[in-house]
Amino acid sequence: MGQARKKYTREYRDEAVDLVVKSGRPIAEIARDLGINEATLGNWVHRAKQAGKVPETSEEPLGAGERAELKELREEVRRLRMEREFLKKAAAWFARESQ
Mean pLDDT of 80-96: 95
Q: Which residue would you say has higher pLDDT here, 52 or 62?
A: 52
CATH code: domain 8-58 is 1.10.10
Q: What is the per-residue pLDDT for 60?
A: 67
Each residue's pLDDT tens digit, 17-46: 999 988 888 999 999 999 999 999 999 999
Judge whether 70 and 35 are in contact, CB under 8 Å: no
Domain boundary assignment for the chain: 8-58, 60-99
pTM of this structure: 0.53
Phi, then psi, of 65 in degrees rounded to 5? -65, -40
Helix H or strand E encompassing 58 = none
71 confidence band (pLDDT: 50, 70, 90): very high
Q: How far apart are CA 21 and CA 68, in angstroms?
A: 21
